[in-house]
């Protein structure tokens, strides 16, 4: 019974740990994919031109569902309480970006009809029917990235801010947010209360360094951006340090928008004509101005493949399409060989985060594995004690003609039986715990005040609760093997026992 | 060697081959670094169907000899005077471990002073386990009915038919020893080795146990080698040998 209980607890512990950590990793990975689509074509800083043509080529392919242009850069954000922070800025076209990613679904402020799973008291502001129209408008604002300006009577471009950027949304124990009004620190040590709700009337100041025609940073540009909504992606790093801004706004600020290009060249029609240079005042050959167009540029194009196609296939297809695109715009866009490492899957983009969580999962499993490995020794100790107790019986069996392997097999079979029963009950127990882990966690919180998975710290309101059958099978088999290995040494010891000594054993 | 003249029951004598033949058997045990010699060259013949009683003081090597006869132990190796323990035409000292296991399962039945029943098993299971060992798990399935019938029959004969499902702890000493005898007889051995089978019982119970053994021996033509302290039991046997200081002295 003791050995069976040990196996049962070990099997259940490993299954619960593996399932929860695996579920955590899976949820985190899915969150990581939320805002990047399947594949990204990245040419940082200066960006690349003719992206419209690239997107047209991508979307014409049967394997590609949609693509969207984006600019990714960094800048400074001035918050309503005048704090200045570093921020990741993403210039996006809201409609196409939503088609490629889950952007539209990440809007936090929107009307909801059902409370979130842990909001038993219905404390979520978004549930209030009186606020429904207000939140519906904010949701629409977020999706279209615009906000109505009561002074001008016009809709103006607006940004969507990560829910944690301002620090003004207090995460609640039930997993939602209650907005707070900011207090601005004053030089005299006092504070000033600012009545604002970001999606209603809040604005931020964005400062970035514009680029010259060669892509070198030049003067800083600052612009006030109204906030249309706030988003929650599920990744804290993203939600506390990202702002989405309409693509055309950020293109203009960075000087990556479409612009007229004026070039002064020698007037070949009249090679002997001269003129005074307006800048230097010196006499020189007469120049003429050629007026052209500098196409708009973006740093990234995100691509979404059609459902059911392997990521590697989409990745390769995007590379192929880019190669054709680069040939068509030779000399104007980066060569395809330069883009080999710049066309990345979402997994490659989130490699650091994914591998960190994978390693954490591996480490936790390793630690629990070591702890559970002690079960082998526990079974060994129990079986050794049993074998000692049964020494005389072993002698009797030998006297009746039982063979050495027969005696060993008896113990191993006994160990395997304990392993099977322990593993079956342990797997069932682990499965039940994982499936009901949130209810158990809530009950522990109510009864003992134990809150291990606090939604104020974790982004996922609920503890991941899915058991993968292949993991359950592996843990099940390991449970049986643990018992067999634990029983094997006492089995060999018993089988080798001298029958005469066994019969005389006291 | 070993051929003896034996009465045929009609007053005449016939030559018979011994079922057991022991020659120059020595056995020494090691107690730590100390060697304790127990048997110093034992010679012994036991005829088919004979009841031989081995008498001797404690520590004289009676049980050791019984273990050697039953293939539970092997004699010391001695190149000058090689030991021999022969059962019919098989030299036990040369048998492999597996063959010795088969010998014990097929040809020998052991009865111990302290019964040595398996406490977790019922009376019936304690008896049928011998059949299970003889036939193996798969063979047991085929012979199960036959084995259970024989076990039931033996237990019935020993007055235990109402105790089949009882555990050993629920039985008296005499009942336990009857179960142990039934277990020893389940595979119909031709040699029964009994190590003080009545030594742990009162006189009356001991007598009834002895009667059961004698009756079965007579019916089945069993060869019986019994170790005992009890001179009264020895008197009933065909032949008595005494072990003194690890050597046989005919009584």
Rg of chain B over Cα atoms, rounded to whole angstroms, equals 18
Name the residue among A393, A399, A401 with its Cβ closest to that of B102. A401
Provide the domain count of chain A: 3
| Chain B residues within an 8 Å CB radius of A503 | 72, 112, 116
Report CB contact under 8 Å: A401, B133: yes
Nearest-10 Cα torsion for A301, A304, A305, A308: 160
How many angstroms separate the CA atoms of A464 and A24, rounded?
A: 6
Residue of chain B whose Cα is closest to the Cα of A407: B133
Provide the pLDDT for residue B3.
47
Please, what is the average pLDDT of chain A? 86
With bands split at pLDDT 50, 70 and 90, how would you rate the model's confidence at A445?
A: confident
User: Which of A80-94, A182-196, B34-48, B74-88 is the least confident region?
Assistant: A182-196
Beta strands A259-266; B239-244: pairing state? unpaired
| Domain identity same for A214 and A158 | yes
Provide the pLDDT for residue B10.
39
Q: Is the pLDDT of residue A135 over 90?
A: yes
Range of the structural domain that residue A437 is part of: 2-23+355-504
Provide the domain count of chain B: 1
Q: How many CB atoms lie within 10 A of CB B86?
A: 20
Flag whether B194 is in a domain: yes
| Chain A residues within an 8 Å CB radius of B102 | 401
Give the residue from A390, A392, A401, A417 with the most B CB atoms within 10 Å of its CB, the best one to mutate.
A401
Give the residue from B104, B136, B179 with the most A CB atoms within 10 Å of its CB, the best one to mutate.
B104
Residue A227, token pair as written in the block: 């906030």
| Chain A residues within an 8 Å CB radius of B70 | 399
Report CB contact under 8 Å: A401, B118: no
Q: Could you tell me if B183 and B155 are in contact, meaning their C-beta atoms sit under 8 angstroms apart?
A: no
| Domain identity same for A277 and A309 | no
Q: Is the pLDDT of residue B1 over 60?
A: no
CATH code, domain carrying B58: 3.40.50.300
Provide the pLDDT for residue B9.
41
Q: Is the pLDDT of residue B5 over 60?
A: no
How many angstroms separate the CA atoms of A173 and A455, rounded?
A: 6
Q: Could you tell me if A275 and A286 are in contact, meaning their C-beta atoms sit under 8 angstroms apart?
A: yes
Range of the structural domain that residue B150 is part of: 47-71+96-250
Give the residue from B59, B72, B95, B120 with the most A CB atoms within 10 Å of its CB, the best one to mutate.
B72
Report CB contact under 8 Å: A402, B134: no
Provide the pLDDT for residue B8.
43
Name the residue among B64, B72, B183 with its Cβ closest to that of A398. B72
| Domain identity same for A159 and A194 | yes
pLDDT tens string A405-421: 888 888 888 888 988 99
User: Which of A7-16, A280-289, A377-386, A488-497 is the least confident region?
Assistant: A280-289
Window 394-433 of A: residues touching B by CB (8 A cutoff) are 395-404, 406
| Chain A residues within an 8 Å CB radius of B103 | 401
A54 or B230, which is more confident: A54
Q: Is the pLDDT of residue A42 over 80?
A: yes
Provide the pLDDT for residue A298.
93
Burial of residue A428, with CB atoms counted within 10 A of its CB: 0-12 exposed, 13-18 middle, 19 or more buried: middle
Q: Is the pLDDT of residue A455 over 80?
A: no
Provide the pLDDT for residue A425.
93
Q: Mark which of A333, A349, A365 sits at the end of a domain.
A: A349
Q: How many CB atoms lie within 10 A of CB A26?
A: 14
| Domain identity same for A241 and A92 | yes
Flag whether B13 is in a domain: no
Q: Could you tell me if A464 and A433 are in contact, meaning their C-beta atoms sit under 8 angstroms apart?
A: no
How many angstroms separate the CA atoms of B196 and A145, rounded?
A: 101
Flag whether B169 is in a domain: yes
Provide the pLDDT for residue A139.
95
| Domain identity same for A18 and A62 | no
Q: Is the pLDDT of residue B4 over 80?
A: no
Name the residue among B73, B133, B134 with its Cβ closest to that of A397. B133
pLDDT tens string B174-220: 899 999 999 999 999 999 999 988 887 788 888 888 888 888 888 88
| Domain identity same for A65 and A213 | yes
* Beta strand extents in A239-359 (DSSP E only): 242-246, 259-266, 274-276, 283-285, 287-294, 297-298, 300-305, 343-345
Report CB contact under 8 Å: A400, B98: no
The conformational region for residue B15 under phi > 0 = left, psi -120 to 50 = alpha, else beta, is beta
How many angstroms separate the CA atoms of B236 and A49, rounded?
A: 117
Name the residue among B64, B104, B112 with its Cβ closest to that of A401. B104
| Domain identity same for A188 and A269 | no
pLDDT tens string B76-126: 988 788 889 999 989 999 999 899 999 999 999 999 888 889 988 999 999
For tokens 């921020």, the residue is A87
| Chain B residues within an 8 Å CB radius of A498 | 73
Residues forming beta bridges with residue A288, ordered by sequence position: A265
B67 touches chain A (CB under 8 A): yes
CA distances from A21 to A24, A424, A458, B102 (A): 5, 22, 13, 55
| Domain identity same for A377 and A342 | no
Q: In chain A, pLDDT over 90 holds for what percent of residues?
A: 35
A147 touches chain B (CB under 8 A): no
Report CB contact under 8 Å: B98, A397: no
With bands split at pLDDT 50, 70 and 90, how would you rate the model's confidence at B137?
A: confident
Flag whether B31 is in a domain: no
Q: What does the DSSP assignment read for A177-238?
A: EEE---EEE-TTS-EEE----HHHH-EEEEEEEEE-TTS-EEEEEEEEEEEEEEE--S-HHH
A265 or A97, which is more confident: A97
pLDDT tens string A190-246: 888 888 889 998 999 999 988 776 778 788 999 999 999 999 887 777 888 999 999
How many angstroms separate the CA atoms of B58 and B67, rounded?
A: 15
Report CB contact under 8 Å: B133, A402: yes
| Domain identity same for A145 and A180 | yes
**Average pLDDT of the segment spanning B116-141:** 90
pLDDT tens string A261-317: 666 777 777 777 888 877 778 888 877 766 667 788 999 999 999 988 898 999 999
Q: What does the DSSP assignment read for B130-157?
A: HHHHHHHHHHHHHHHHHHHHHHHHHHHH
| Domain identity same for A214 and A95 | yes
**Average pLDDT of the segment spanning A117-134:** 87
Q: Of A505, A506, A496, A491, give the one whose Cα is nearest residue A398.
A: A496
| Chain B residues within an 8 Å CB radius of A499 | 72-73
First to last CA, chain A: 25
Complex ipTM > 0.90: no
Please, what is the average pLDDT of chain B? 86
User: Which of A369-383, A481-495, B68-82 is the least confident region?
Assistant: A369-383
How many angstroms separate the CA atoms of B249 and B251, rounded?
A: 6
DSSP A280: T
Window 98-157 of B: residues touching A by CB (8 A cutoff) are 98, 101-106, 108, 110, 112, 116, 118, 129-130, 133-134
Calculate ∠ Cα A335-A339-A344, nearest 5°: 160
| Domain identity same for A76 and A185 | yes
Residue A298, token pair as written in the block: 């973006």
How many angstroms separate the CA atoms of A340 and A322, rounded?
A: 10
| Chain A residues within an 8 Å CB radius of B105 | 400-402
Pairs of CB atoms within 8 A across A/B: 55
How many angstroms separate the CA atoms of B82 and B78, rounded?
A: 5
How many angstroms separate the CA atoms of B76 and B93, rounded?
A: 10
Residues B3-21 as b or e (16 or more Cβ within 10 Å = b): eeeeeeeeeeeeebebbbb
Provide the pLDDT for residue B69.
94
| Chain A residues within an 8 Å CB radius of B112 | 396, 399, 503
Give the residue from A390, A400, A409 with the most B CB atoms within 10 Å of its CB, the best one to mutate.
A400
Nearest-10 Cα torsion for B106, B109, B110, B111: 160
| Domain identity same for A396 and A474 | yes
How many angstroms separate the CA atoms of B197 and A377, rounded?
A: 41
Provide the pLDDT for residue A213.
66
């Amino acid at each position: 019974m003791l050995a069976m209980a040990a196996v049962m607890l070990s099997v259940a512990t490993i299954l619960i740990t593996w399932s929860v950590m695996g579920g955590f990793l899976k949820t985190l990975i899915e969150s990581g994919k939320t805002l990047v689509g399947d594949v990204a074509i990245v040419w940082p800083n200066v960006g690349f031109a003719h992206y419209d043509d690239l997107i047209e080529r991508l979307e014409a392919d049967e394997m590609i569902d949609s693509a969207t242009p984006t600019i990714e850069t960094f800048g400074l954000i001035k918050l309503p309480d005048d704090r200045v922070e570093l921020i990741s800025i993403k210039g996006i076209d809201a409609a196409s970006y939503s088609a490629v990613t889950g952007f539209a679904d990440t809007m936090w402020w929107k009307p909801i009809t059902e409370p979130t799973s842990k909001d038993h008291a219905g404390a979520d502001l978004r549930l209030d029917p009186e606020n429904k129209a207000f939140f519906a408008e904010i949701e629409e604002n977020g999706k279209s990235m615009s906000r109505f300006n009561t002074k001008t009577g016009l809709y103006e471009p607006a940004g969507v801010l990560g829910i944690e950027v301002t620090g003004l949304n207090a995460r609640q124990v039930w997993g939602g947010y209650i907005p707070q009004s900011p207090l601005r620190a004053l030089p005299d040590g006092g504070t000033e209360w600012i009545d604002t709700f970001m999606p209603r009337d809040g604005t931020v100041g964005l400062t970035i360094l514009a680029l010259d025609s060669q892509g070198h940073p030049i003067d800083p540009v600052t612009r006030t951006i109204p906030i249309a909504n706030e988003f929650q992606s599920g990744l804290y790093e993203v939600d506390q340090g990202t702002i989405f801004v309409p693509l055309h706004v950020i293109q203009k600020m960075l000087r990556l928008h479409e612009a007229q290009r004026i070039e002064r060249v020698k007037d070949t029609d009249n090679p002997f004509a001269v003129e005074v240079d307006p800048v230097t005042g010196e006499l020189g050959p007469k120049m003429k101005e050629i007026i052209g167009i500098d196409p708009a540029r973006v740093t990234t194009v995100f691509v979404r493949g059609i459902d059911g196609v392997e990521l590697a296939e989409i990745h390769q297809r995007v590379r192929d399409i880019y190669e054709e695109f680069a040939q068509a715009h030779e000399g104007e866009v980066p060569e395809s060989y330069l883009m080999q490492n710049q066309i990345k899957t979402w997994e490659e983009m989130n490699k650091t985060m994914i591998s960190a969580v994978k390693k954490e999962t591996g480490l936790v499993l390793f630690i629990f594995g070591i702890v559970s490995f002690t079960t082998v020794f526990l079974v060994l100790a129990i079986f050794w004690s049993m074998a000692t107790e049964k020494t005389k019986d072993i002698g009797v069996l030998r006297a009746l003609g039982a063979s050495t392997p027969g005696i060993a097999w008896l113990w191993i079979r006994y160990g395997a039986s304990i392993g099977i029963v322990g593993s079956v009950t342990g797997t069932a127990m682990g499965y039940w715990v994982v499936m009901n882990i949130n209810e158990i966690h809530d009950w522990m919180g109510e009864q003992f005040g134990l809150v291990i998975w606090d939604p104020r710290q974790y982004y996922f309101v609920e503890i991941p609760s899915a058991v993968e059958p292949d993991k359950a099978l592996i843990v099940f088999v390991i449970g049986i093997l643990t018992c067999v290995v634990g029983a094997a040494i006492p089995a060999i010891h018993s089988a080798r026992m001298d029958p005469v000594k066994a019969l005389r054993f006291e | 060697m070993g051929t003896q003249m034996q009465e045929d029951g009609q007053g005449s004598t016939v030559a018979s081959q011994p079922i057991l033949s022991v020659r120059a058997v020595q056995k020494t045990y090691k107690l730590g670094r100390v060697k304790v010699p127990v048997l110093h060259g034992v010679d012994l013949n036991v005829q088919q169907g004979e009841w031989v009683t081995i008498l001797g003081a404690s520590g004289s090597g009676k049980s050791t000899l019984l273990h050697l006869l039953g293939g539970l132990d092997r004699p010391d190796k001695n190149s000058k005077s090689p030991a021999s323990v022969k059962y019919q035409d098989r030299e036990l000292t040369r048998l492999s471990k597996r063959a010795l296991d088969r010998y014990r399962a097929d040809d020998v039945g052991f009865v111990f002073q302290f019964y040595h029943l398996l406490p977790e098993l019922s009376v019936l299971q304690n008896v049928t386990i011998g059949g299970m060992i003889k036939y193996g798990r798969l063979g047991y399935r085929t012979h199960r009915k036959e084995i259970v019938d024989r076990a039931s029959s033996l237990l019935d004969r020993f007055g235990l038919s109402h105790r089949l499902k009882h555990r050993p702890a629920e039985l008296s000493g005499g009942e336990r020893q009857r179960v142990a005898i039934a277990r020893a007889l389940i595979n119909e051995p031709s040699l029964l080795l009994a190590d003080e089978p009545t030594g742990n019982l009162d006189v009356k119970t001991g007598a009834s146990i002895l009667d059961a053994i004698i009756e079965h021996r007579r019916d089945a033509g069993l060869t019986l080698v019994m170790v005992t302290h009890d001179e009264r039991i020895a008197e009933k046997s065909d032949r008595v040998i005494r072990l003194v200081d690890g050597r046989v002295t005919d009584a």
